[in-house]
Structure 1
Amino acid sequence: MESQYPLPPPVVPVAVPIHDNQDRGDIPVAVAHARPSLATANESQKNSNYRLPSSRRNNGALAPVTERQIQQLVDQGYTRGHAASLARTIRNFPLRIWVVDNSGSMQHTDGHRFVETGRKGEVKVVGCSRWNELKDCVVYHAQMAAALEAPTTFRMLNDPACGPNSQQFGIAESSLDGLVLQEEVDRAIAIMKSAQPGGVTPLVRHIEEIRQSVLELEPALREDGCRVAVILATDGLPTDERGYGGAGIQQLFVEALRGLEGLPVWVVIRLCTDEEEVVNFYNNLDGQLELSLEVLDDFLEESKEVHEHNPWLNYALPLHRLREMGYHDRLFDLLDERRLTSEELREFCSVLLVDNDTSVELPDPSADWGKFSRAVKNLLENQQGQWNPISKKVSPWIDVKSMDKTYGNKRWSFW
């Protein structure tokens, strides 16, 4: 169902959120306090700081992502398969809650920005602070949330002191009016542009507050078979409010996450560092918790891990952005863990290239590899090339020669 409002929402952003000459410096800081936070708007609604998107409902069902929105995604480099995946994500996860780390360690200058050059699809990697990398990420997802009318809340780890209610701001939480959505995006950009990293890493408090809010939403979520996506974007180990860390605080953090077990949530930890101690701590969480959880490295590090196991795939930025916003598919989770089996490869290529077209079915690679390979090659001809973080040039989504080398000579279906 199309939005009932006369003004359309903002368009889908490219996976790289800004050009070199589009720094949005014209947005006044005053916009940062143009609208009250959702927490203020919902003071009368028990203890929850969040509201499920009733405005997207039609006779009790969530309104689908429109063909116009899907075409916008395709125009910005996503495949139609990606677009269908995003549509499913918005239906299955009607609310996304980001915890944005703006602690002092985010000033470290080992981050990366990805800036479009003048040539279509080409990207320049620019060194920057971790904060500037995360700032681009948040701006992108704010734009995406508005374009897809996907309710999203951003919580700063520490108060950025950028005006009233700047520690928590949201997109598409209470209105789908195009003008309101653009104001919310402008406000988000203004806050992120003005905020500077400083302070500690009190992750425990934020997790506990989110848990309480999810408990309030749980009946409605379970009724619709939906979940909340919780994205922790951080570069450090947890501390208390005074900045003290250590094993005790880390255990409190684990216990806070354990409090989410059994609740309708999907947790993504989006790391903003490749420091070994930090990476190991978060990667080891999976074995300690019975919780739906994924740990994502930054784009460049994640692409290296994917390439190590599945070198035939161009792990382009749209794939990473999709996973950042909470997209959950076991095949995507496996990409950086091991080589996909031939049947998993077929499923992945279907998700990537086939969309929901029931008239197209990829051949069984274990029965006739050559037929499968030719079918993939034909489908790729209709797709835009994407910047490859390994080769540093625009490439197809799938390197068919590499795929043939990896799978083509195998006579069994598992590997």
Structure 2
Amino acid sequence: DCEVTDCTRWAEVQETVNCHAQLAEVLGAPTDFKLLNPLRKHGGSQTFRVGYGRGGAFFNPLARRRGLPTQRMESALAKSKPAGMTPLPKSIHQVRQEIEGMVPQLIAEGTKVCLVIATDGSNYNKENLDWLMSEEERNQELVQALESLQGLPVSVVIRLCTDYEPLVDFYKSLDTMDWNLDVDVLDDHKAEAMEVQAHQPWLNYALLLHRMREMGHYHPLLDLLDERPLTPPEIRDFLRLLFGQQHFQEPYQNTETWAINLLQELLEIQESEQTQSCYWKNPLTNLKEPWINIEQLAYTLLDDNEEDEEYVGDGLAP
């Protein structure tokens, strides 16, 4: 379950980071958490490594008892307060150097790094005399740092923990730039749900989807949720992503019969006892609901005559 409450920006950063540290530990997903400024009360620690145990805590009971990296990080964050600078470009360049050293291994394994930036502020580093620079110049410095990642096996997620409108507008503009780089800019869960609702009124944007995007699980359809309405074939592919590729096998046809068949199959899935036991809390209604509002989806598929956008798809369906 999730509950929406008022909190400080720092508390939001803490909650987000702690959640993903726990996920990394449970899943055995090697993750380095790098703080922009060292924690003076904790020996100057600036990096915490989580999820490097064999198999992760979900698969390995011994790893559950060894979850000390997560506990140390949570304890350090709980006893700390935001202070110091926000040297984002400097930190991005440091990460880039690490990734460059990993490129041969990443290529051999067919994998890539996901860089998640959780921030509540703008770029500022007094060591670089940033106090003499305008906000626009500091923003451009950050853009250039991100551009330096292009061509590397890396994707970027920027998790905003602020509602300061000028700052939000700047970071959101990064989402629309013509990058040779996967960049996704995310707001908090409820704000992101409102954006998704504007384009996909049939979808319950539950916390699980938001966490997947926060941790860098890249899928073109997930990236489109808050950008534009999905087309009917994209909706079918998204349903397969949610409920499994064994469902919704019928190839897309621009007919009412195809839409009705899809809705009927979806109704049967969501009415099954197993699916009903896994309803998710909707952040906009605060009620447990199924993934899909079938009535809204029927309206989208049967009554929406707007011209389709370019089809993205998932590469799975015929």
TM-score (norm 1): 0.66
Matches within 5 A, 1:351-362: 351-354=241-244, 356-357=245-246, 360-362=247-249
Match of 1:401 in 2: 295
- Deviation string, structure 1 residues 293-326 (Cα, Å, up to 9, x no partner): 1111111111000000110000011110010000
CA–CA separation in structure 2 for the residues paired with 1:162 and 1:393: 41
Deviation at 1:372, TM superposition (A): 0.5
CA–CA separation in structure 1 for the residues paired with 2:66 and 2:233: 42
Check the 8 A contact 1:362/1:375 in 2, yes or no: no
Matches within 5 A, 1:3-402: 121=1, 123-164=2-43, 166-173=45-52, 178=63, 181-242=66-127, 244=131, 246-285=135-174, 286-287=176-177, 289-354=179-244, 356-357=245-246, 360-363=247-250, 364=252, 366-367=254-255, 368-381=258-271, 382-383=274-275, 384-402=278-296
Which of the pair is proportionally richer in helix? 2
| Residue identity matched to 2:63 | G
CA–CA separation in structure 1 for the residues paired with 2:253 and 2:284: 26
Give the number of aligned pairs.
Answer: 291
Runs (4+) of structure 1 moved beyond 4 Å? 174-177, 410-413
**More RCO (CA 8 Å, sep 6+):** 1
Distance change in 2, residues 1:238/1:404 (3 Å): same
Deviation at 1:162, TM superposition (A): 3.2
Report the secondary structure of 2:5's partner residue.
Answer: strand
Check the 8 A contact 1:342/1:365 in 2, yes or no: no
| Residue identity matched to 2:136 | A
Match of 2:314 in 1: none
Distance change in 2, residues 1:192/1:186 (3 Å): same
Higher mean alpha-carbon deviation, 398-407 vs 364-373, is at 364-373
CA–CA separation in structure 1 for the residues paired with 2:102 and 2:285: 45
Structure 1 unmatched ranges of 5 or more? 1-120
Distance change in 2, residues 1:330/1:156 (3 Å): same
CA–CA separation in structure 1 for the residues paired with 2:262 and 2:20: 35
| Residue identity matched to 2:10 | W
Report the secondary structure of 1:206's partner residue.
Answer: helix
CA–CA separation in structure 2 for the residues paired with 1:413 and 1:258: 34
Distance change in 2, residues 1:288/1:239 (3 Å): farther
Distance change in 2, residues 1:218/1:147 (3 Å): same
Report the secondary structure of 2:217's partner residue.
Answer: coil
Deviation at 1:156, TM superposition (A): 0.9
Percent of matched pairs sharing the same residue: 35
CA–CA separation in structure 2 for the residues paired with 1:389 and 1:254: 32
